[in-house]
Chain A
Amino acid sequence: MASAELPVLKPADYGTDQDVRWCPGCGDYSILAQMKKVMSTLNMSRENTVFVSGIGCSSRFPYYMNTYGMHSIHGRAPAFATGLKSARQDLTVFVITGDGDSLSIGGNHLMHVLRRNVNLNIILFNNRIYGLTKGQYSPTSEQGKVTKSTPMGSIDNPIHPLSVAISCEATFVARSIDVHTKHLQETLERAVGHKGVSFVEVYQNCNVFNDGAYKWATDKDSKSDTVLELEHGKPMIFGKDRDKGIRLNGMTPEVVELGKGISEDDLLFHDAKSTEPTLAYMLTRMSHPEFPEPIGVLRDLDAPCYDDAINYQVQHAKETRGEADLEKLFNSGDTWVVE
């Protein structure tokens, strides 16, 4: 078979020779490793891939990928990526961002890139802290968090990235965890496969400034009780013994134990394809410790992409009005001749 002769790139072939500058033990290492694996698994072309990032520890990511890349300015990566993808639809474009980058300074751009449904893969490394600037609280930090800039505890109400994504009409919304390597790979693969904007929140440990922020979700002993792995079309079941589930009680979800008169059929079934966003939104609001936090693909819809539409208009204009002709344009309408 011809394809067997194509050189298949190994994960390492997607890395650069640059020293990785993250702190030892940082969750970013795992995300980088999974990304290389995914690119290798999907046999993605290096020259047709661009990683665009903002500023932050996470945003150093492009330097470590042997693809094209741009380490841009704080919060604005979605805008660079929108221009790039619109001008060059042939490229696969990733946006790498942090919780501060995407939700503080870049909140506006995130909102608009999502609603426009630009065909990009946005990976948000959520460590619930400003890593690069050495540990101030971020828009996803829990209230009361004591940091250098909040010695008496933060008074800000935190934001849920996935709630933002759903309310901005994102067509692909998912969550995974840095150290859940298999799950992260699968999630990234699906994000790449989705046509339209893909928004993936990755729980990432900053072992220097916010160590253990997701301990509950990564500890072997607790994780099956604190994390709900979503599967399309399947009931929402979790727990070490798969004996707990999520049921809808009126408009609110509740945790129930299976058996004792409650069967799988009483549980909520996950429907990532539902165009109605209410249930997906509800999932984004389920948080530890009251609920297991959902991971996997919350939402996966087909919708027209911005980059298709902007180029379609060009195509359509050419078909209806003819190819560009400067001579004709300049001499159209009212002109006069001076002898």
Chain B
Amino acid sequence: MSTTTDENAVVKEVQPLEEATVRFCGDSGDGMQLAGTQFSNTSALAGNDIATFPDFPAEIRAPRGTLAGVSGFQIHFASHDIYTPGETVDALVAMNPAALKTNLADLKSNGVLILNSDAFDKKALGQAGYESNPIEDDSLSGYQVFSMPMTSMTRGAVDGLDLSVKESDRCRNFFAMGLVFWLFGRSMDPTLRFIDAKFSKVPSIAEANRRALKAGYNFGETTDAFRSSYTVEKAKLPAGTYRNMTGNQALAWGLMTAAKLSGKKLFLGSYPITPASDILHELSKYKNFDVLTFQAEDEIAAICSAIGAAYGGEMALTTTSGPGMALKGEAMGLAMMLELPLVIVDVQRGGPSTGLPTKTEQADLLQVMFGRNGESPIPVIAASSPADCFDVAIEAWRLATRFMTPIVVLTDGYIANGSEPWRIPNVADLPKIRVTHPGPRDENDPPFLPYQRNEELARPWAVPGTPGLMHRVGGLEKQDGTGNVSYDPHNHHHMCVTRAQKVANIADVVPAQEVMGAESGKVLVVSWGGTYGACRTAVARLQAQGKSVSHAHVRYMNPFPKNLGQLISQFDKVLVPELNLGQMRLLLRSKYLVDAVGLNKVQGKPFTTTEIAEKIESLLG
């Protein structure tokens, strides 16, 4: 052993981990979403599988220091496949007492707790409801507490840059990031690149953020406080090139891709609403992809403008969340009646009414199924994860054009804002979406019949500008074939049945329902949408213990895959976990006469794996 001591060279141990979960939390103004996003991207770039869960208040700037104003971002990263952002966290960064108060319960015992001691003053402690300072009393003794004056250290790091105190303090999140980067052996390069790009116009701020980031990193490296850091190896994902994607971004890119695959312009009519607005923002960036984005005066105008574009022969899209869906109802009925292709995206959030705008829920299923007057069948498909949004978007447009129908895509706030690695597809390998339009006719041709159907019951998509195909469409009942207005009772019955049958025909062309696990047994978990990760992880965990449980995660919500009923009948019990009070369960029970059991939660939060596993175990008896 060396006998010389260098006080600066602290030899630290690096502990390998298979997976870890980190949560950044602080005041809404503390930049925690940015910190989380940067850490996620860096972890993804380091080759981990990741799943993220941003969680923020509805208010843009809730009163500072309050419990209601706490914003958090959780990242789960691993050297193997993961499907959820994790339940309890291994490391928690709390930038103020309110954040500590609201998040501590999720920290594992003996977990790493990083605190900004500067923020633990009397006022802030009072706002968070602490009678004494938890850093000083022994209430945190069950954790590895690393408390440091981040505010003053950040101010020190940016000293000399001529920034106001406010500007200096805004760099604190970079200090916290730097520290966590060190703790998990992450490279700072991606974030340094991000800073260069983002703040290129304000060099002093760029420099301050760089310095704060490095100061945090160096502090981790040099302080005696941290005895060890951690490392999580690359995950063995299928070979390919990857990037990190949020659900909203993946959906937007999928829609742009669908437009290209079908040789169409993409027209989006939308009205801003959380958590769907990012799709509008994202698509607005790519006008060079023949994307027209129309920010309408309301959700009604948004969908109506899209239907106008569909009539014009382009790819039509409208995006919204629950309250906007409620407004779109009448126009959705019209689109169904006109039999025009249209993609309607509902990024679900906590309802009813304005509900919990920034929180997740799955309670719009029955609204999109039935929320219209008259017999108004519309197909519905649901995305299961951030990356899946890309595929679902393409699938939606493929079905909409093939069957000449509006189609609803359901996602939710959890997968819309969450992110995961997305394997970049080879564009040339993506199947083209074949769209045809009838060609011109002259006087001698037989009259054009806009509602003459093919064997799948789809009608032709005749577009204005085509000589000889002039025709009128509308919401009045129309005669099959000619499309002329008809009040004939039998025709109306025939048309209602025909439109329903057309949508039912979709089941003939979609893949059979897959099942993870045995095709018969004691319990089948049937899930849809963003609960995929938690259900899959829970079932896999119990399967590993030899339990008789299988999992069917449904993408095609209307119509259901043809074999779903048969599959369900092979199990003693059917469990339907949903972030609503039993909406898919209602559909399954009515369609298959199955006594399905629900696991239901409407707390604005995703399921934890444990919640689902426990319910399955209780059913297994």
User: Which residues of A approach B to under 8 Å, CB–CB?
Assistant: 16, 18, 46-52, 55, 62-63, 65-73, 76, 78-88, 90-91, 108-109, 111-112, 310-311, 313-314, 316-318, 320-324, 326-327, 329-331, 333-339
Contacts and interface: CB of A to CB of B under 8 A. Distances in A.
B331 A76 contact: yes
B287 A313 contact: yes
Contacts of A82: 294, 296, 301, 305, 308
Contacts of B239: 338-339
Given A83-B306, A109-B304, 14 more contacts: A48-B464, A62-B474, A67-B470, A70-B473, A73-B304, A76-B301, A79-B296, A87-B265, A91-B464, A324-B260, A330-B253, A333-B243, A334-B243, A339-B239
A87 B292 contact: yes
Contact of B304 (A79, A91, A321): A79
B305 A79 contact: yes
Please give me the 6 A-B residue pairs with the lowest Cβ-Cβ distance, nearest first. A71-B474, A83-B305, A83-B308, A84-B308, A79-B304, A79-B301
A162 to B, nearest CB: 21
B427 to A, nearest CB: 5
Contacts of A311: 292
A335 B306 contact: no
A316 B427 CA distance: 25
B200 to A, nearest CB: 15
A324 B305 contact: no
Contact of B468 (A47, A314, A316, A323): A47
A70 B310 CA distance: 12
A182 B70 CA distance: 69
A336 B45 CA distance: 6
Given A81-B308, A84-B311, A72 B470 contact: no
Nearest to A61: B472
Contacts of A71: 472-476
A22 B253 CA distance: 48
B464 A88 contact: yes
Contacts of B296: 79, 82, 112
Contact of B469 (A16, A47, A62, A331): A47
Interface stretch (B111-119, B312-320, B412-420): B312-320
Nearest to A88: B312
A336 B288 contact: no
A80 B305 CA distance: 4
Contact of B307 (A78, A80, A88, A336): A80
Among B244, B298, B305, B469: residue with most chain A CB under 10 A: B305
Contacts of A79: 269, 296-297, 300-302, 304-305, 308
B242 A338 contact: yes
A336 B235 CA distance: 12
B290 A70 contact: no
Interface residues of B, number: 72
A111 B298 CA distance: 12
B292 A330 contact: no
A169 to B, nearest CB: 15
A337 B241 CA distance: 4
B291 interface: yes
Nearest to A82: B305
A90 B301 contact: no
10 contacts: A47-B464, A50-B464, A70-B474, A76-B300, A83-B269, A83-B308, A88-B314, A326-B257, A326-B427, A334-B41
Contact of B267 (A51, A62, A87, A316): A87
A15 B362 CA distance: 49
Contacts of A90: 465
A68 B242 contact: no
B313 to A, nearest CB: 7
A313 B237 CA distance: 40
Contacts of B243: 330-331, 333-336
B240 A338 contact: yes
Contacts of B312: 83-84, 87-88, 91
Contacts of B297: 79, 108-109, 111-112
A80 to B, nearest CB: 4
Nearest to B238: A338
Contact of B288 (A111, A112, A317): A317
Contact of B330 (A73, A88, A321): A73
Contacts, number: 209
Contacts of B25: none
Given A87-B267, A88-B314, A72 B334 contact: yes
Interface in B253-268: 253, 256-257, 260, 265, 267
A55 B475 CA distance: 9
Interface in B415-440: 424-425, 427
A70 B472 contact: yes
B497 interface: no
Contacts of B16: none
A324 B470 contact: no
A48 B301 CA distance: 24
A68 B308 contact: no
A66 B265 CA distance: 27
B251 to A, nearest CB: 14
Contacts of A52: 308
Given A86-B267, A330-B424, A338-B239, A63 B474 contact: yes
Given A79-B296, A87-B267, A46 B309 contact: no
A84 B473 CA distance: 14
B477 to A, nearest CB: 12
B608 interface: no
B311 A70 contact: yes
A63 B308 contact: no
Contacts of B476: 71
B44 interface: yes
B349 to A, nearest CB: 24
B292 A88 contact: no
A317 to B, nearest CB: 4
A266 B97 CA distance: 77
Interface in B439-494: 464-476, 484-485
Given A76-B301, A87-B265, A310-B292, A336 B242 contact: yes
B577 to A, nearest CB: 31
Nearest to B330: A73
A73 B292 contact: no
Nearest to B426: A327
B45 A73 contact: no
Contacts of A70: 308, 311, 338, 472-474
B471 A68 contact: yes
B146 interface: no
Interface string B392-418: 000000000000000000000000000
Nearest to B268: A83
Contacts of A72: 304, 307, 334, 474-475
B582 interface: no
Nearest to A52: B308
